[in-house]
Amino acid sequence: MNIDIFICGGTIDKTYFPDLEEFNFNKTHIHEMISQARISDLKINIKSLFLKDSLDMNNDDRSMVVESCKKSDSKNILIVHGTSTKVDTAKAIANELLVDKTIVLFGSMLPYELAKSDALFNFGTSIISCQILSPGVYISMNGKVWDYDKVIKDTTLAKFLEKK
């Protein structure tokens, strides 16, 4: 199976810079995550689109994500994305009616490099999901997967929930 992974940044890829006392971007951690998960028998193509906090994403960034999905030869796409505007990007992708592809957006509430991060768990859930779900656009977080239009981020609880 062939899976394209598009990197957009988000909390999952943030690195702590002690001299600045802040989290910011240095590189993607997806290669480490794939190695740690011991993934084999999958052909994974990684394309780094940009490294941004999703609150800093704009329409041009979303268009780049959509175009990457459209141009991909893979029927299975995983998108590493910040949690704040993940649903907005998913809607932009879904509006393009890519009915023959399974596209899963995921991220984490804590950076991958932190000991108690949810990053690797969310990655594992997402990589399995993009292999077994029917074509469509999905959000994967907190051990669950939702259709893109049936989920919200609850900032008070710091997790994703089914939209009511």
User: pLDDT tens for residues 15-37?
Assistant: 888 787 778 888 999 999 999 89
pLDDT digits (tens, 9 = 90+) for 85-127: 999 999 999 998 777 999 999 999 999 998 899 999 999 999 9
In the chain the domains, ranked by start, together with CATH numbers, are: 2-162 (3.40.50.1170)
Instruction: Give the whole-angstrom CA distance, residue 109 versus residue 141.
Output: 9
Q: Give the phi and the psi of residue 64 in degrees, each rounded to 5.
A: -65, -40
Kindly report, residue by residue over 42-76, the tens digit of the pLDDT. Answer: 899 999 999 999 999 999 999 999 999 999 999 99
